[in-house]
Amino acid sequence: MGAMPEGKKASFRCALFPCVSGRRRVLLAGAVRRGAAAGLLLAACTVPSAAAEGVACPDAGVERGSVASVSPSGDLVLSDGTVLRLAGLAGGGAGAEVGWRPGLAQRVAGREILFAAGPARDRYGRRAALVRETPMDGAAITLQQALLTEGWALARPEEGFLGCLPSWLEAETEARHARRGLWRRLPLDARQVDAIRAQQGRFTIIAGRVLDVGKSSRVDYLNFGRVWRQDMTGRLERPARIALEAQGIAPEDLAGRQMRLRGTVFESGGPAIAIRRVEQIDWRIDQPPDRQAGREEARGRTRPTGDE
């Protein structure tokens, strides 16, 4: 077969690797011809994030208030009656009283804070907010970063604050490596079904290898076990699938990958997490998959309609 014209080579590389530029795209395109496409594409392309799309983290200095108390659920009750929920955080299933409450109360009760919050209130009357202590010397980190670094909270992707997520995940990584707080028991092993099921209704993080990817008319299923109606499943919903495909990553390319998932556990013939945003998937822990492990099995595989 003759050589591909240079113009077509460039078109091939750009179409195949829309999130990679320059020399790396050339090298990756060469790897595709050697049969290493899916794994390298996942390694080269990050999931689309608000930060990557130019959405900034709000400036936590727009409003000012004085903290009167910290509620059992970790919300800040201000002296004027405003209640602030710390945006983008989850307590990891600690129950009605989150583990960070005592330390947070000691840190901010009776003190002034700076915050950025939208006008909307949830059904409990709270405003979601990015909060910063009033700095004594220079700039203070946000309460979100402090709690994540200490391991008392988990980062939760939240609309309106997605631009903050990269820095939150960086803070969370520090706690995970040091095994602080919640990270003494997290992430949960995706094979430990009973331990995951015990977290039903709570936000948590699981880790494991996707054995195969099932498909239905509405949802793609990241199967962490062989028994669909018993083992852990990640339900990849349409918005997350569209975001993945926009980066050239098909759901079936996730078969054989080692990853972490974050979200609220629910029961669906086995414990499951609904993946509505690609930010819920973290494959930075990825290892090279078994050669085509589960890949061919994943393609075209369907689930009974009753599993939806």
H or E element, residue 188: strand 188-189
CA–CA gap between residue 244 and residue 238 (Å, rounded): 10
Which pLDDT score is estimated for 53? 55
What's the pLDDT tens digit per position in 189-199?
Answer: 999 999 999 99
**pLDDT the model gives residue 277:** 94
| Angle, vertex CA 299, rays to CA 297 and CA 302, nearest 5 | 90
> Strand, helix or coil at 182?
helix
Q: Roughly what angle, to the nearest 10 degrees, separates helices 37-44 and 22-33?
A: 160
**The pLDDT of residue 294:** 43
292 pLDDT band, cuts 50/70/90, is very low
Per-residue pLDDT tens over the stretch 48-84: 444 445 578 988 778 999 999 999 989 999 999 999 9
Q: What is the DSSP letter of 77?
A: E
Among residues 298, 261, 244, 291, the alpha carbon closest in space to that of 39 is found at 291
Q: What pLDDT is stored for residue 118 in this prediction?
A: 85
Q: State yes or no: pLDDT of 21 exceeds 80.
A: no
Q: What is the pLDDT of residues 126-170, one digit of tens each?
A: 999 999 988 765 567 899 999 999 999 999 999 999 999 999 999
- Burial of 95: CB neighbours in 10 Å, binned 0-12, 13-18, 19+: exposed
Q: How confident is the model at residue 44 (pLDDT cuts 50, 70, 90)?
A: very low
